[in-house]
A and B are shown apart, each in its own frame.
Chain A
Amino acid sequence: MSGQPSTYQPKSGFTRWLDSRLPILRLAHDSFVDYPTPKNLNYWWTFGAILSFMLGMQIITGIVLAMHYVPNATMAFASVEHIMRDVNYGWLVRYLHANGASMFFVAVYVHMLRGLYYGSYKAPREILWILGCIIYLLMMATGFLGYALVWGQMSFHGAVVITNLFGALPLVGESIRTWLWGGFSVDNATLNRFFSLHYLLPFMIAGVVILHVWALHVSGQNNPIGVDPKSEKDTVKFTPYATVKDGFGVALFVVMFGLFVFYMPNSLGDVNNYIPANPLVTPEHIVPEWYYLPFYAILRAIPNKLMGVLAMFGSIGVLFILPWLDTSKVRSMRFRPKAQIFFVIFVINALILGWCGHNPPDKFAIPVGEGGLTFVWLSRIGTAYWFAYFVIIMPLLGIVEKTRPVPDTISSPVLSGAATVEKA
């Protein structure tokens, strides 16, 4: 796939026969065995494999859950508890799936921040990055739909809040909302279609993942110094080098995953979702799952509902044009001292936005005497930085920043020592 000559040699009569008809083994060999990967990839690069593993995990556990789940407004909650209590190892499958969603998002955020830090979105990897953004959007949709299926209090009222966002659109909003609901409120019809779509979207994700990997194998992987491999000295074969390192990364990640599943399976969830959905009782604070919190804060930061919705979608939409907003000629932030500072502030800002999304807007985030800074104002500051980072800082920094010298090849800093890097 990477445009290099294939080195696949079919060994048996059957594989020779197959190779001249459907060269699928050749494709696998060229993509996952012989494929050259930069030899300086660090552990942040194992998250691609971790994400593939998590996607597989979610699909398999999800298929098993769907065998026992009942997508009906009067039975959904009880069927989830039936899985927890009466289905053999149902508790394990459900906890794997529910915590798996959180772990999937942990991994995707690390993966995206890695791309952001090392400039993996820059030419020639724009399409690769955009495909990643599409996967992320599909994941957000899938997570939201899946959370609604539990049909607990937070499921139900979260679904009401999110579907109502579409109602804010001018002219068509009302109709879109009715169409999403399949009626005039979140009800059985909504639950049914959410179940159907929740089953569909993961396979769409898998489809886009294939495109994502394809695009990756055309441009080749980026690496921590952001300089493309120049010779064979700069690369190692995917198998065994990348596979074994990815394997170790996945194993470590699964240890953390296991700790959540077996010892704190409900720590990332909301207690209200263990109360069956009741349209007549609204929970005191409606909070989405942790992975949506920064965007929820951006939504609430803006007083006008429509503008809030646009800001929320815009905060993710801006990622799509990031490859053209970053004007820097240097790819990796390892050589961009100023960009590093703004990047760290961006990460902390995202965490603060998450903290704002978790808290009621009028509560004081930083109390000073009787008054203080409320969460809504803190999230306004955070929202401003979020957009400024992409729309102002990224374009300007590329022009004004004095970057550190970039080595010529991946091998050179290692082979000739740090002194040459200083001179270069």
Chain B
Amino acid sequence: MRRILSVIAPVLALAIAVPALAAEHEAKLYTPKGGWSFQGPLGSFDQGSLQRGYKVYREVCSSCHAMNLLSFRNLGEKYGPFYDEKFPNPADNPFVKTLAHDQEAPAIKGINEETGDVEDRPGLPSDRFPDPFPNEYAAKASTGGYVPPDLSLIVKAREGGANYIYSILTGFVEAPSDVTVPDKLYYNQSFPSHFLGMKPPLADNKVSFDDGTPSTIRQQAKDVTTFLAWASEPKQTERKRLGLWVMAYLIGMALLAYGSYRRVWKNVH
């Protein structure tokens, strides 16, 4: 049996290695300098990066991209961008309240409970992030035929995850001389087909960071990707933290089970 396996293993290894070599010419993905704060089993989101990332989303991306699954209250949840331990209920968080209140959205309609009239009302933490377009036709009309994808789950919905988003945002380079870029499309080195309907969204100093972080394209891309990774799964940090305890417990239980097994079977020959 072992001999058969020793013959087969190299063949199998080759079978896996060959397609890996062939993949070399496809669009490359990059990881930002210093990696991601949230990578690995112990990683958790860098709150400063989340806050800057939210600012980039709000000031740049949100003019075309919706985030339908996010509400303002999410921003104040534990491990989120504006979490403050003084306000365990994110709806009480004054910063989140202000963000919701100041949202630049088409007026929010509410019912006046005294008169029954439909009136404009101020934004609340329970409101969803506003949509940039009233409907998909409006979106198509303003972008030239594309509906910009919703970003709520974008990091989980693309092969390559955070690296993919970061690489696209930083991947607008001069097209190689032998390539003709079609009208209304933009060359991107990391996009699979290299032609992207999205204009290069970021530029140096396009977003001002209050904490003094230099506002380069790469920094903006890294921060907004961190924010989007959080938005894709706000419970990610909680998951990893709980996982440590659960894994420790399970391994302990497995060791105990092994000890019992050895002891019970001691006299069986």
The docked-state distance in angstroms from the alpha carbon of A236 to that of B267 is 11
* Bound-complex Cα distance A244 to B153 (A): 43
* B250 close to chain A: CB less than 8 A: yes
Q: Which of chain B's residues have a CB closer than 8 A to the CB of A262?
A: 41, 239-240, 242-243, 246-247
The size class of the interface chain B forms with chain A is 35 or more
Do B250 and A81 touch across chains, with their CB atoms under 8 A apart?
A: no
Select which of B149, B157, B269 is within 8 A of A414 by beta carbon: B269
B234 touches A85 (CB 8 A): yes
Complex Cα gap A370–B246 (Å): 51
Q: Is the CB of B243 within 8 A of A254?
A: no
Report A-chain residues with C-beta under 8 Å of the C-beta of B74.
85
Q: Which one, A248, A355, A415, contacts B261 given CB within 8 A? A: A248
Known: A236-B268, A244-B257, A251-B250. A275 touches B8 (CB 8 A): no
**Contacts A255-B251, A272-B157 given: A241-B264 contact, CB under 8 Å?**
yes
Least distance between A23 CB and chain B CB atoms (Å): 28
* B8, closest chain A residue (CB): A348
Q: Which residues of B contact A274 (CB under 8 A)?
A: 153, 156-157, 232
Question: A344 touching B8 by the CB < 8 A rule?
Answer: yes
Q: Which of B11-19, B47-55, B96-104, B218-226 contacts A (4 or more CB under 8 A)?
A: B11-19
B141 cross-chain contacts in A, Cβ below 8 A: none
User: In the docked arrangement, what's the CA distance between A78 and B4, Å?
Assistant: 50
Query: A352 CA to B18 CA in the complex, in Å?
Result: 14
Contact in complex: B239, A39 (CB < 8 Å): no
- Residues of A near B238 (CB, < 8 A) are 91
B-contact bits for A250-278, CB 8 A (1 contact / 0 none): 11101100110111011000011011000
Chain B residues touching A, majority SS: helix
CA distance A257 to B260 in the complex (A): 22
Complex interface bits, B1-41 against A, C-beta within 8 A gives 1, otherwise 0: 10011001000100100110010000000000000000001
Do B69 and A341 touch across chains, with their CB atoms under 8 A apart? no
Interface of A is mostly: helix
Given the known interface contacts A85-B69, A255-B247, A340-B1, the answer about A271 and B159 at a Cβ–Cβ threshold of 8 Å is yes
Q: Which residues of A (336-360) have their CB < 8 Å from a CB of B? A: 340-341, 344, 348, 351-352, 355
Interchain nearest-CB distance for B98 vs A (Å)? 22
Also in contact, A248 and B247, with CB within 8 A (given A85-B74, A271-B157):
no
| Per-position binary interface string of chain B over residues 126-164, scored 1 when its CB falls under 8 Å from any chain A CB and 0 otherwise | 000000000000000000000001001100111100000
Please give me the residue from chain A that is nearest to B158 by CB atom.
A271
Asked if B181 CB lies within 8 Å of chain A CBs, one says: no
Asked if B261 and A258 sit within 8 Å, CB to CB, the answer is: no
Check B4 against A340 for contact (C-beta < 8 Å). Answer: yes
Closest-by-CB residue of B relative to A243 is B264
> Are B157 and A258 neighbours in the complex by a CB distance under 8 Å?
no
Query: Are A252's CB and B247's CB within 8 A?
Result: no
Chain B residues, CB < 8 A from A252: 254
**Contact present for A275 and B265 (CB under 8 Å):** no
**A241 surroundings in chain B (CB, below 8 A):** 264-265, 268
- Is B242's CB under 8 angstroms from A240's CB? no
Bound together, the chains give a CA A245 to CA B262 distance in angstroms of: 9
A176 contacts the other chain (Cβ, under 8 Å)? no
Assembled-state Cα–Cα distance A91/B5 (Å): 40
Task: Contact check, B12 vs A348: say whether CB atoms are below 8 A apart.
Answer: yes
Distance in angstroms between the alpha carbons of A241 and B243 in the assembled complex: 31
The answer for the CA separation of A91 and B12 in the assembled complex, in Å, is 36
Check B254–A367 contact: CB distance below 8 A.
no
CB distance from A38 to the nearest CB of B (A): 11
Q: Are A92 and B258 closer than 8 Å at their CB atoms?
A: no
What does the 1/0 interface line of A219-256 toward B look like (CB < 8 Å)? 00000000000000000100011001101101110110
Contacts of A244 in B (CB 8 A): 257, 260-261, 264-265
Q: Is the CB of B261 within 8 A of A245?
A: yes
Contacts of B206 in A (CB 8 A): none
Across the interface, do A84 and B235 meet the contact criterion of CB distance under 8 Å? yes
Chain B contacts of A258 at CB under 8 A?
Answer: 243, 246-247, 250
Nearest opposing residue in chain B for A272, CB measure: B157
A39 and B157 contact, CB distance less than 8 A: no
Question: Is B253 on the interface with A (CB-CB < 8 A)?
Answer: yes
CB of B120 closer than 8 Å to a CB of A: no
Task: Return chain B residues, CB-CB under 8 Å to A247.
Answer: 257, 260-261
In the assembled complex, 8 residue pairs joining A and B whose CB atoms fall closer than 8 Å, in A order, are A84-B235, A241-B265, A248-B254, A248-B258, A250-B257, A262-B246, A263-B243, A271-B157
Closest 6 CB pairs of A and B: A262-B243, A274-B157, A251-B254, A248-B257, A274-B156, A251-B257
**A residues at B contact (CB < 8 Å):** 39, 78, 81, 84-85, 91-92, 95, 236, 240-241, 244-245, 247-248, 250-252, 254-255, 258-259, 261-263, 265-266, 271-272, 274-275, 340-341, 344, 348, 351-352, 355, 364-367, 414-415
